[in-house]
Amino acid sequence: MTFYVLYNRLSGNGTGEARAREVEKFFKKMTPVFVDITTLDYLKFFSELDSDDKVILCGGDGTLNRFVNDTEGITFKNDILFFPTGSGNDFWNDLGRKVGDAPCKINEYLVDLPTVIVNGKKSKFINGIGYGIDGYCCEEGDRLRATSDKPINYTSIAIKGLLFHYKPTNAEITVDGVTHTFERAWLAPTMNGRFYGGGMMATPDQDRLNKERTVTTMVMFGAGKIPTLAAFPSIFKGEHIKKTKIVKTFKGKHVIVKFNRPVALQIDGETVKNVTEYEVIGG
């Protein structure tokens, strides 16, 4: 039996391998084989594994997203484990685990994933689709990251966006054929898990392994800047859904969200600019 550790050497500003090697502390009697995924042929790699070999994927939510999309169509016959080395680690948090915990098997979380369609492009996602000020935060974070090595404070970006920079939109949300309209929509994510954005519990009642494979769409709407800013911190504990005058949630298998002007959208933390609508189909 061999343990193969997959990592992205380009992640974390080039620290991907160093951070992945933190997994070595869990190995006492064997030495794992480290494999850089930036040049990996997944089909060839998995076809050549012995039946008792195990694979440990190291990275963050973005690495998980790329993995499930790059390996689409491959049936995993080996155990796939995950070890978080990212910054947000919302997937790991959703599993009830903490940074520093041992790698755990994730095969069951890699199948029957929802699909998002944006600008005609289809892709699978692990955690969620952010649309509204959350997409704006990712867009602004990308801009800051390109000009500075300082850590990105997304909470600070969100607060400044709410107060000064981001303007809410009108939203049309259709879930399983039923359409709902909202004015002054600030957020309209659709979630496979509970967490996104580095710890925001957007949809506390969402179960990524639910039998129907439904997703949950949440919308925060209607209020002005100051009331929305006052309510925003409650999202980190999932208590925002109690504020039913400004927050609604919908469960379903087929979701279409439209805004009346283009804004940024994020898919598991990866930014897509100038989006007027997205569509999600449950797994």
- Mean of pLDDT values over 142-163: 82
Q: What is the CATH number of the domain that holds 255?
A: 2.60.200.40
Each residue of 7-29: pLDDT tens digit? Answer: 988 777 678 889 999 999 999 88
Say if residue 228 is in the same domain as residue 140: yes
Q: What is the pLDDT of residue 13?
A: 67
Work out the percent of the chain whose per-residue pLDDT is above 70: 99
Q: What is the pLDDT confidence band of residue 30, given thresholds at 50, 70 and 90? A: confident
d(CA 38, CA 248): 40
Say if residue 90 is in the same domain as residue 127: no
Phi-psi region of 131 (alpha: psi -120 to 50; beta: other; left: phi over 0): beta
- Other beta carbons within 10 angstroms of residue 65's beta carbon come to 22
Say if residue 85 is in the same domain as residue 204: no
H helices then E strands: how many in the chain? 8, 17
Structure tokens at 132: 């509204």
Say if residue 146 is in the same domain as residue 276: yes
Each residue of 88-101: pLDDT tens digit? Answer: 799 999 999 998 89
Structural domain range at position 189: 115-281
Burial (CB count within 10 angstroms: exposed 0-12, middle 13-18, buried 19+), residue 124: buried
Each residue of 158-207: pLDDT tens digit? Answer: 888 888 889 999 999 999 999 999 999 999 999 999 999 888 999 999 99
Q: Which of 133, 196, 198, 197 lies closest to 161 in space, CA to CA?
A: 133
Say if residue 91 is in the same domain as residue 227: no
Q: What is the pLDDT confidence band of residue 124, given thresholds at 50, 70 and 90? A: very high
Say if residue 125 is in the same domain as residue 256: yes
Each residue of 36-72: pLDDT tens digit? Answer: 999 899 999 999 999 999 999 999 999 999 999 999 9
Q: What is the pLDDT of residue 16?
A: 85
Work out the percent of the chain whose per-residue pLDDT is above 90: 77
Give yes or no for a contact between 129 and 189, defined as CB atoms under 8 angstroms apart: yes
Mean pLDDT of the chain: 93
Burial state string for 188-226 with b = 16 or more CB within 10 A and e = fewer than 16? bbbbbbbbbbbebbbbbebebeeeebbbbbbbbbbbebe
